Amino acid sequence: MSINTILHATRTLGRAGLSVTAIGLGGGWLGYTGGDTIDYDAGVATVLRALELGVNLIDTSPAYMRGESERIIGMALREWFARGHPRQSVVISTKTGTRPDSAGDYSAEATRRSVELSLRALGVNTIDVLHIHDPKDIEPALQPGGALDALKALRAQGVIRAIGLGVRNLAFHRRCIETGDFDVSLTYGDYNLLCQDAAADLLPLAQARGVGILNGMAVMYGLLGGDDPREVVRQNRRQFAPALVERAYQLWQWAGARGVDVLALNLQFCVRRGWVASTLVGASRPAEIEADVRAFAQTLTPDLWRAFEADFPELSAI
């Protein structure tokens, strides 16, 4: 499967009608150095490399990289557009509700202000997808005078093209889909080789209602990134459930024994059923997005998938 086949065969992101590549670049790690500094040049180069490779979706948030992710993307987009690429060559997705100076404020007023600041940081006049981000309680955002009211008005004005929800809580996604006002759901950590909770009812519901799915955190903090998961755990500050690490190790061994990168197995698993329009991969440097694209383009034969389904029957129909 060639890179061109994978990335240039775009999918429709729900009823918003946006065409997105099967991989999207997540902006949560752009320019990350492991310390207190941000490498802006590396962040910009990562965005540009993703676009050069054919990735057309960039997802970010005012909360990412201590509030600098949007600005890094804006710097990259200025260079991209200066090269002669049109605005419609990029699908931009960002969020409201977690901006560092107004985190947790899901009022219409705060939402309008957040969108205004995002437009300024990104250097564009429109945002393709605007997500309500990580609310602890979804109802304030949906009530009159809440974030949804502001986003509906901005969509009507053409300032944004689609309204989304980005949160881990699957019940919140179902609640928003059922309003009929949401175009996109960004679920994360719940549809990959280690966790398939979103497949139980969210993904079929979204498909039935014409709501597009973005799939975040698919690499599960590196457990499915291609390296030995036990080594990932040793180098990671996060705490992982031992059963999760053991499962990741089992998958890593299975893939390695067949000459396959578990990253390729995971990323391609995420799109096999057609529920997901785009899987978001985080990258801090160009080499990382290049590795993700290579993994997505690695040929996984029908025989390999048959062997996978025989050895992991619980995943075969998900």
- For 148-165, the pLDDT digits (tens) are 999 999 999 999 999 999
| CATH number for the domain whose boundaries are 3-315 | 3.20.20.100
How far separated are the first and last CA of the chain, in Å rounded? 22
Measured CA distances, 307 to 66, 301, 302, 315 (Å): 44, 10, 9, 12
Please give the pLDDT value at position 99: 96
Give 95's strand partners. Answer: 131
Quick check: 2 pLDDT over 80?
Answer: no
Contact 129, 184 (CB under 8 A): yes
DSSP H or E run through 186: strand 184-188
pLDDT average, residue stretch 263-288: 96
Residue 254: name the closest of 300, 291, 198, 215 by CA. Answer: 300
Residue 53: name the closest of 251, 253, 295, 304 by CA. Answer: 295
pLDDT average, residue stretch 284-306: 96
Please give the pLDDT value at position 237: 79
CA separation for the pair 285, 22 (Å, rounded): 20
CA separation for the pair 287, 99 (Å, rounded): 29
CA separation for the pair 117, 120 (Å, rounded): 5
CA separation for the pair 109, 124 (Å, rounded): 21
Residue 40: name the closest of 77, 71, 5 by CA. Answer: 71
Q: Is the dihedral of CA 11, 265, 56, 6 positive or negative?
A: negative
Q: Taking all residues of the chain, what is their mean pLDDT, rounded to a whole number?
A: 95
Give 282's strand partners. Answer: 26
Q: What is the DSSP string of 199-239?
A: GTTHHHHHHHHT-EEEEE-TTTTTTTSSS-HHHHHHH-SS-
Quick check: 242 pLDDT over 70?
Answer: yes
Quick check: 4 pLDDT over 60?
Answer: no
Report pLDDT digits (tens) over 30-49.
999 988 999 999 999 999 99
Between vectors from CA 316 to CA 312 and to CA 318, what angle results, nearest 5°? 120
Residue 75: band (very low, low, confident or very high) from pLDDT cuts 50, 70, 90? very high
Residue 63: name the closest of 131, 146, 150, 149 by CA. Answer: 131
pLDDT average, residue stretch 222-243: 93
